[in-house]
Amino acid sequence: MKKVGIITFHNSYNCGSMLETYALQYYLRSKDLPVEIVHFSNEGQQNLYRVFEKNTSLKKVIKNFICIFYRKKLFNNNNKYQEFQKKYFPLSKFHEDAKELTDKDYQIVIAGSDQIWNITIADFDDAYFLPWVKCAYKVAYAPSFGAKNIMKYAKDHKKYQTYLNDFDALSIREYNGQKWIKDLTGKEVEVLIDPTLLLDAKEYDKLLASDINIPENYIFFYCPTFDKEICKYVAKIAKKYHLPVIAWSAKNYYVHFIKRFHFQLPEYENPSAYLTLIKNATMVFTTSFHGTIFSALYHKAFWTIKNGGMYGDDDRVISLLTSIDMMDRLIPYQFDDQFDYLQAFDYEKFQRKLTPLRKKAKSYIKKNMEEIYERSK
């Protein structure tokens, strides 16, 4: 029996990437589809998440030197990500070279979500545009260009035009991406929610960690890119409410000496720890797309911090907050001692906005995955 294959950034030690993989395969398996994650991870991706990077610049030499002192913690974190992957992902044979990929075992191949179509990042590969799929039905479920317009950044944008035109079903995650596909191919495509929003919080509760020691009250802080001013801002809020701060991303923490802001790290990092820390937090502050999603799903007092990357072409967070009517949770990092950072949010409104978005996404899945697979049996 042929399967449904998903290719995405499942092998990146990044909680958003791994949880969008989990959510899509979980939802499809709930529909009795025989799902397999295409276990592809190119050299660029593997280098990106190694504890010690290649010494290609002075900056990386310094970073590697600092990491020597914390290597036990960093290696343990990577092992925890691997444990999560092995436990929850139905994986194919491992492939590092896209030339090894074949669709002979698949009836449908899905180019999953995340920034798999961002051609400027270290772990990008043409494989995510599915040129290796020759016979199976090709579907794109809410991939992202990561704010990088192919027509601006690709040396040969016509190659990607050909790849996109060869899909049997196309969708995208952000409105900018919708416009860029129209400019590139002339096709009108649907904007769909990230796979993580297909599931309710109770489904993620199955993944929670039971071995994370956390304070009764705390702030969870996740900013993927280090920003000193944002750290200062969160530290002031922590002082205002007399709350400890648990930060995420140990490598950033050590390399940028984030300890100076009196933030703590959890015992380890992986998606289970991440969800546990968000669910139990008194407040969440983040600049992250998926940090925003899981804070909303767990109905937290959360704030998505504005930064320069959220304007112009990068509409990932703006698209998300607009779609779920939560733009009032987007705030600048300007501390206001009179502002109530613990104020409640109308999560009934959030659920009302999410319901039709889920219905639209599930309709796309039913039409292009469930029904296609059923007809092929």
Query: How open is the CA angle 137-139-129, to the nearest 5 degrees?
Result: 100
Contact 302, 286 (CB under 8 A): yes
pLDDT exceeds cutoff 80 at 327: yes
Residue 193 shares a structural domain with residue 208: no
pLDDT exceeds cutoff 90 at 50: yes
- Per-residue pLDDT tens over the stretch 98-132: 999 999 999 999 999 999 999 999 999 999 999 99
Residue 224 shares a structural domain with residue 339: yes
Provide the CATH number for the domain around residue 143: 3.40.50
Confidence of residue 309 (pLDDT cuts 50, 70, 90): low
Helix axes 71-88, 15-30, angle to 10 degrees: 10
Residue 226 shares a structural domain with residue 287: yes
The answer to the question of residue 320 being in a domain is yes
**Tally of CB atoms within 10 A around 203:** 15
Residue 275 shares a structural domain with residue 371: no
Residue 228 shares a structural domain with residue 320: yes
The answer to the question of residue 350 being in a domain is no
Residues in the chain: 377
The answer to the question of residue 262 being in a domain is yes
Residue 207 shares a structural domain with residue 90: no
The answer to the question of residue 72 being in a domain is yes
Residue 182 shares a structural domain with residue 231: no
Residue 157 shares a structural domain with residue 293: no
What is the rounded CA–CA span in Å between residue 255 and residue 70?
Answer: 10
Residue 140 shares a structural domain with residue 209: no
Contact 91, 39 (CB under 8 A): yes
- Give 79's DSSP letter: H
| Beta-sheet strand order (sheet of 283-286) | 245-247, 219-222, 283-286, 302-305, 330-331
The overall pTM is greater than 0.85? yes
The answer to the question of residue 361 being in a domain is yes
Residue 166 shares a structural domain with residue 72: yes
Confidence of residue 314 (pLDDT cuts 50, 70, 90): low
Contact 42, 96 (CB under 8 A): yes
Residue 20 shares a structural domain with residue 164: yes
What is the rounded CA–CA span in Å between residue 123 and residue 9?
Answer: 9
Contact 114, 45 (CB under 8 A): no
The answer to the question of residue 14 being in a domain is yes
* 295 Cβ contact list (under 8 Å, min separation 6): 278, 284, 286, 302
Confidence of residue 188 (pLDDT cuts 50, 70, 90): very high
How many helices and strands (H and E) does the chain possess? 15, 11
Q: Token digits for 77?
A: 């974190």
Mean of the per-residue pLDDT values of the chain: 95
What is the rounded CA–CA span in Å between residue 303 and residue 305?
Answer: 6
The answer to the question of residue 31 being in a domain is yes
Contact 245, 234 (CB under 8 A): yes
Provide the CATH number for the domain around residue 310: 3.40.50.2000
What is the pLDDT averaged over residues 146-172? 95
Sign of CA dihedral 186, 165, 197, 271: negative
The answer to the question of residue 137 being in a domain is yes
- Give 155's DSSP letter: S
Residue 185 shares a structural domain with residue 210: no
Number of domains in the chain: 2
What is the rounded CA–CA span in Å between residue 330 and residue 303?
Answer: 6
Residue 239's domain spans which residues? 201-345
Query: Beta strand pairing status for 190-191 and 171-172?
Result: parallel
Report the candidate in 187, 65, 43 with the shortest Cα–Cα distance to residue 123. 43
Contact 129, 364 (CB under 8 A): no
- Per-residue pLDDT tens over the stretch 3-24: 999 999 999 999 999 999 999 9
